[in-house]
Structure 1
Amino acid sequence: MGIAIKGRGSRTHLAGRFEVTVSEAMDDGWAPDESEEFAAPRLRTEVRAETARSIISRNKSPDVGFSQSVNPYRGCEHGCSYCFARPSHAYLNLSPGLDFETKLFAKTNAPQLLRKEFSRPGYVPQPIALGINTDAYQPIERKLKLTRQLIEVMLETQHPFSLITKNALVERDIDLLAPLAEKHLVSVHFSVTSLDPHLSARLEPRASAPHARLRAMRRLSDAGIPVGVMVAPVIPWINDAELEAVLEAAHDAGASTAGYVLLRLPLEVAPLFRDWLDTHHPDRATHVMSTINQLRGGKDYNSQFGTRMRGEGVYADLLSNRFKLARKRLGFDAQHSHWPKLDCTRFLRPLPPRVESPQGSLF
């Protein structure tokens, strides 16, 4: 069993797939103990300002429910051990492991870029998913407020959007979200992995505790903002037994829609998650990975559309049936299980940004 780093989901600087040279730790034979000498290092979070060239990402994936998304940050301090976005840090020559959760990038010009994109004559409004690759309400948002500024642009232009988060910080922006909700321009989804605060702290160490997410869900719902729950990810033999309990707690907190996603382990996420299992659940690590392999055609992951979110086989069918029965029993909206329909007809195109002449104004 390895030594976990407090407040971090990973404990290794796993090299990305594009690295030319790779270093590997070697066991020198000294068994670790609880002494200060063997304590895992504490790592500070570094935030770098980034001037983005574009802000709206577009996709044609048939199984995600949205065609365009906006991410104000790269990397995520929540440190979720299973995060499918970790491999994106490899493109920056950084580790999908600890670097992903400690070396973050803030797109400081994101609000200006979004307004500029909306002002284009050919832009056709479609709902935007805010904070999909990395959480738009991760801890650094409290200070930088890029997500809030993006929502202000949405409010100004009456542009529809949805967001999904693990952070109760979303409560801060009820003053913006409520008037948008009145016009069917926003929906908010909370990812809830477990109701057990101890398990949650190991899985997603810097995300809000489960009870805080449920509290935020209730406060948004009371303010008239449509909220939903995503049980994501469902991990065999780790949190799968909680599926019905999470759905019931979310329903009691005001959620009207529900969904779930099976654990996904693309690229570098697979070895990182295996290490997490060996660190926190060594007694069941083999069983967990064996079941995942059965769900993914004998591999750690299968990226095929239609099955990547659900898996295949007996376990996948059982999980699907359990979810459908619980959704029906609790009265969740089955028609809009993931993303409720939002109104695109209210869009107000902003004026294009003013371009100053190099010679300056004559008056």
Structure 2
Amino acid sequence: MSDTILKGRGAQKNVHNRFSENQHEVLNEYLNFCEAEGEEADKNKTKYIEIFPKTFVNKVNSPDVGMGFSANPYQGCEHGCVYCYARNSHEYWGYGAGLDFERKILFKRNAPQLLEEKITSKNWQGETIVFSGNTDCYQPLERKMEITRKCLEVMLKWKHPTGIITKNSLILRDLDILKEMAKLNIISVNLSITSLSEDTRRLLEPRTASIKQRLKTVEILSANGIPVRVMMAPIIPSLNSHEILPLVKKVAELGAKDVSYTIVRLNGQIAEIFTDWAHKTIPDKAERILNQIAECHGGNLNDSNWGRRIKGEGTISEQIKNTMAIAKKRYLNNRVAAPLDTSHFLQLKNPQTTLF
């Protein structure tokens, strides 16, 4: 590993913004006011910038991601996962997909109000809304801002089906709300765990919760009746692909309902960011890993074709698919989580329907 790497950061460089003419105007800035899990960032140069969106809930058009609607309280993410597909979205705000993505975090203080306006609108029928879908709703800034918690309070108030995607144990702060939602079967949690190795976690996801903390989170949520699916996302050949069986075994023992996976794809600017990171942090493995990623995507580091881009193709992808199938059959024993219930929301929103 190089002595010149930026500790506490995933990306090791900034990259050119392809849309640089669209510069973001900073309306309000807050510097370094939150605690973070994981590694200390490089002299903590993070800036927190308030933005004022007019809408908050987004329709998801991709058939690959398994959700219809998402909501993201934050743009950019201080977790610093080097492989994160959301990095490219930061360019649309006038920033870079590299270090800017980790150092310039945009937050939506008015998200809870916008959320309530959306779900109480005339034509809304209670489709599950997933937090986050793009960037982690429990990233370090949430400890201070509590935007996600306030959104969950809105969802519980209206008994609305809710999904959460996170890799931060901060979600346990909101266990009181989640337990009430679980009683109504209106909550499911997707917890990202890419490795059982803390050394791998530090390299790939420097400011996330430790593996020990994430495993504890699976256990506590499950023990409180909150359905948890673990996401081994992404699987990176020759880096964490050998951990499929032990990881599924471990989370199954802790109560996880299911395990899903994706194979890493380095779309847009992420190819440059990941390649630079690999050569700086794991130089002895870098070329092998990059070549095997390319093997999974027809010779390229990325594949944008729906239906193929998430799972890959070729021999390596097939081996990963088969290993995951064996692991789930052996350790999860066909566990299933019940579909989330929309009836509570619909009855609360339209009480007159109970007359019929």
Is the contact made by 1:70 and 1:131 (CA closer than 8 Å) also made in structure 2?
yes
Tell me which residue corresponds to 1:92. 93
Following the alignment from structure 2 to structure 1, what is the Cα–Cα distance between the partners of residues 80 and 61?
28
Tell me which residue corresponds to 1:294. 295
Secondary structure, aligned partner of 1:291: helix
Following the alignment from structure 1 to structure 2, what is the Cα–Cα distance between the partners of residues 16 and 242?
35
Tell me which residue corresponds to 1:134. 135
**Deviation of residue 160 (structure 1)?**
0.3
Encode CA deviations 1:253-287: one digit per residue, 9 max, x unaligned. Answer: 11011111111211001100001110111112111
Following the alignment from structure 2 to structure 1, what is the Cα–Cα distance between the partners of residues 336 and 299?
33
Encode CA deviations 1:275-300: one digit per residue, 9 max, x unaligned. Answer: 11101111121111111111111111
Tell me which residue corresponds to 2:349. 349
TM-score by length of 1: 0.88
Secondary structure, aligned partner of 1:217: helix
Q: What residue identity is the alignment partner of 1:287?
A: R
**Deviation of residue 331 (structure 1)?**
2.1
- Structure-to-structure mapping, 1:202-217, within 5 angstroms: 202-217=203-218
Tell me which residue corresponds to 1:13. 14
Tell me which residue corresponds to 1:193. 194
Following the alignment from structure 2 to structure 1, what is the Cα–Cα distance between the partners of residues 122 and 297?
44
Tell me which residue corresponds to 2:326. 325
Following the alignment from structure 2 to structure 1, what is the Cα–Cα distance between the partners of residues 190 and 229?
5
Which of 1 and 2 has greater Rg? Answer: 1
Secondary structure, aligned partner of 1:278: helix
Following the alignment from structure 2 to structure 1, what is the Cα–Cα distance between the partners of residues 119 and 194?
35
Following the alignment from structure 1 to structure 2, what is the Cα–Cα distance between the partners of residues 150 and 265?
31
Q: What residue identity is the alignment partner of 2:257?
A: S
Is the contact made by 1:16 and 1:87 (CA closer than 8 Å) also made in structure 2?
no
- Structure-to-structure mapping, 1:182-261, within 5 angstroms: 182-261=183-262
Q: What residue identity is the alignment partner of 2:106?
A: F
Is the contact made by 1:258 and 1:332 (CA closer than 8 Å) also made in structure 2?
no
Following the alignment from structure 1 to structure 2, what is the Cα–Cα distance between the partners of residues 278 and 268?
16
Encode CA deviations 1:208-261: one digit per residue, 9 max, x unaligned. Answer: 001100101111111111111111110011111111111111111110111111
Following the alignment from structure 2 to structure 1, what is the Cα–Cα distance between the partners of residues 196 and 78?
21
Following the alignment from structure 2 to structure 1, what is the Cα–Cα distance between the partners of residues 82 and 243?
19
Is the contact made by 1:251 and 1:332 (CA closer than 8 Å) also made in structure 2?
no
Tell me which residue corresponds to 1:42. 43
Encode CA deviations 1:179-220: one digit per residue, 9 max, x unaligned. Answer: 111111001111001111111011100000011001011111
> Is residue 52 from structure 1 mapped to residue 50 from structure 2 by the alignment?
no
Following the alignment from structure 1 to structure 2, what is the Cα–Cα distance between the partners of residues 275 and 111?
38
Following the alignment from structure 1 to structure 2, what is the Cα–Cα distance between the partners of residues 58 and 333?
31
Following the alignment from structure 1 to structure 2, what is the Cα–Cα distance between the partners of residues 176 and 41?
34
Encode CA deviations 1:151-172: one digit per residue, 9 max, x unaligned. Answer: 0000000000111111000111
**Deviation of residue 48 (structure 1)?**
0.8
How much identity, in percent, do the aligned residues show?
39
Is the contact made by 2:185 and 2:341 (CA closer than 8 Å) also made in structure 1?
yes
**Deviation of residue 119 (structure 1)?**
1.6
Q: Output the aligned Cα RMSD.
A: 1.8
Q: What residue identity is the alignment partner of 1:349?
A: K
- Structure-to-structure mapping, 1:262-301, within 5 angstroms: 262-301=263-302
Secondary structure, aligned partner of 1:181: helix
TM-score by length of 2: 0.89
Is the contact made by 1:68 and 1:127 (CA closer than 8 Å) also made in structure 2?
yes
Following the alignment from structure 1 to structure 2, what is the Cα–Cα distance between the partners of residues 60 and 268?
22
Secondary structure, aligned partner of 2:292: helix
Encode CA deviations 1:119-157: one digit per residue, 9 max, x unaligned. Answer: 211112111111110000001101100000000000000
Instruction: Count the aligned residue pairs.
Output: 330
Following the alignment from structure 2 to structure 1, what is the Cα–Cα distance between the partners of residues 181 and 215?
21
Secondary structure, aligned partner of 1:277: helix
**Deviation of residue 333 (structure 1)?**
3.7
Tell me which residue corresponds to 1:356. none
Is the contact made by 2:257 and 2:336 (CA closer than 8 Å) also made in structure 1?
no
